[in-house]
Amino acid sequence: MMKKHEEFRWMRLRIRRMADAWIQAIKSLAEKQNLEKRKRKKVLVHLGLLTKESGFKIAETAFSGGPLGELVQWSDLITSLYLLGHDIRISASLAELKEIMKKVVGNRSGCPTVGDRIVELIYIDIVGLAQFKKTLGPSWVHYQCMLRVLDSFGTEPEFNHANYAQSKGHKTPWGKWNLNPQQFYTMFPHTPDNSFLGFVVEQHLNSSDIHHINEIKRQNQSLVYGKVDSFWKVSQSVCVCLSLCL
């Protein structure tokens, strides 16, 4: 599936480059628990950020300095699902999403759905969520419990609860989904209400490098993250406190 899409080229290269590490990891996991008895689920992975309709052009700029965080997270999620043996269907266009879900449009059986299921679990992003809702119409609510939303910076309950967000005047286009806050999977956990979904840190080390690193004396250091200077105007006291504690 990923071979058919140019949008997945950066992700394919990452997965292939790290294949040995992934295989070693799944073998290590298999030694600790029986993976053969795990239920094989039907999983839909819809990457709304890669659709033409999103207008983001993330795939087009992946090799020229564009943002890669989401692609890293998606790459590692897809690899994990595959190695754990799940039945994965990947969508990166509205046409593919409609083709996969056309049999269930109009479903009213509740969530989770009964009978033969087209999907049992849906990994999606905020952009894809809007596309999913538009594709299924009113019946989308019957799939809400299956949704797992990759949301880089997370969604706090205040912005997730539609009525409360409306009462507070929040006009963000990313919120008001009325999901369980733990259905939002973030790699930058700003709130404990969301679930954490990280990524694999790629290493370029051989055995001698690792041995050398182990001999280096450690120094206490802290990294704070902020794209714009103005982010820190009200946080100077926090930075001072951190510097004194290190």
Q: Whole-prediction pTM value?
A: 0.82
Residues 25-71 have pLDDT tens digits of 999 999 999 998 889 999 999 999 999 999 998 989 999 888 899 99
Return the structure tokens found at 222: 């802290």
More confident residue, 191 or 114: 191
Residues 137-195 have pLDDT tens digits of 988 988 999 999 999 989 999 999 989 888 988 888 889 999 999 999 999 888 899 99
Quote the pLDDT of residue 29. 95
pLDDT confidence band for 104 (50 / 70 / 90): confident
Quote the pLDDT of residue 224. 75
